[in-house]
């Protein structure tokens, strides 16, 4: 207990020299909470759909045909991306088992991985262009 006395004395001396930080910290926390929940009512009311954390590319003001195309686009991205991943994984596994040399295996696997990334990129761009071509113009 005797060793606690110098530490406590130093803490008391430090508190005398510096103002208490609690009021500032509590004020900051209160301002962050007010900003986060915005109970002031100063901003316009948003709908429930607008308040949900939906993907940034989704636009809540779409008409039914535009929304259906956006849903079809997302579905095609998931479906075709999954199919490409499945077929490409099978192809890489088949190629890996056909090559006996470990160095060549790794070299071919890296090359096929680069081709796969390019194919996924091209697929996503093609789906985006197809959706834009089919999407009716907003008025």
pLDDT digits (tens, 9 = 90+) for 27-66: 667 666 655 565 555 556 666 556 554 555 666 677 888 8
CA–CA separation, 127 and 124 (whole Å): 5
- Same domain for 73 and 115? yes
Distance from C-alpha of 116 to C-alpha of 118, rounded to nearest angstrom: 5
97 is a domain residue: yes
- Cα 102 to the center of its chain, rounded Å: 36
- Tally of CB atoms within 10 A around 91: 13
CA distance 56 to 114: 28
Residues 31 and 87 in one domain: no
How many CB atoms sit inside 10 A of residue 72's CB? 14
Same domain for 104 and 127 = yes
The reply to whether 68 and 23 lie within a common domain is no
Q: Work out the percent of the chain whose per-residue pLDDT is above 90.
A: 38
Measured CA to CA in angstroms, residue 106 lies from 3, 15, 102, 112 at distances of: 62, 63, 6, 10
The 10s digit of each residue's pLDDT in 113-133 is: 999 999 999 999 999 899 888
Please indicate, yes or no, if residue 11 is contained in any of the structural domains. Answer: yes
Q: Are 124 and 73 in contact (CB under 8 A)?
A: no
| Residue-number span of the structural domain to which 22 is assigned | 4-51
Do 26 and 73 reside in the same domain of the chain?
no
**Does this model's pTM top 0.85?**
no
Phi-psi domain of 76 (left: phi exceeds 0; alpha: psi -120 through 50; beta: other): alpha
Cα 31 from Cα 38, distance rounded (Å): 10
Domain total of the chain: 2
The answer to whether position 9 is within a domain reads yes
* 114 within some domain: yes
pLDDT(2) > 80: no
123 against 2, higher pLDDT: 123
Q: Is residue 59 part of a domain?
A: no
Residue 58 lies in a domain: no
Q: Specify if 123 maps to a domain.
A: yes
Whether residue 57 lies inside any domain: the answer is: no
């Amino acid at each position: 207990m005797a060793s606690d006395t110098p530490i406590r004395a130093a803490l008391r001396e430090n508190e005398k020299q510096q103002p208490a930080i609690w009021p500032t910290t509590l004020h900051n926390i209160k301002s962050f909470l007010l900003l986060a929940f915005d109970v002031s009512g100063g901003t316009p009311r948003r709908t429930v759909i607008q308040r949900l954390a939906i993907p940034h590319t989704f636009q809540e003001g779409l008409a039914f045909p535009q929304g259906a195309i956006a849903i079809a686009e997302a579905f095609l991205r998931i479906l075709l991306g999954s199919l490409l991943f499945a077929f490409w994984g099978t192809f890489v596994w088949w190629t890996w088992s056909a090559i006996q040399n470990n160095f060549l295996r790794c070299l071919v696997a890296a090359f096929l991985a680069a081709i796969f990334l390019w194919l996924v990129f091209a697929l996503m761009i093609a789906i985006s262009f197809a959706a834009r071509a089919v999407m009716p113009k907003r008025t």
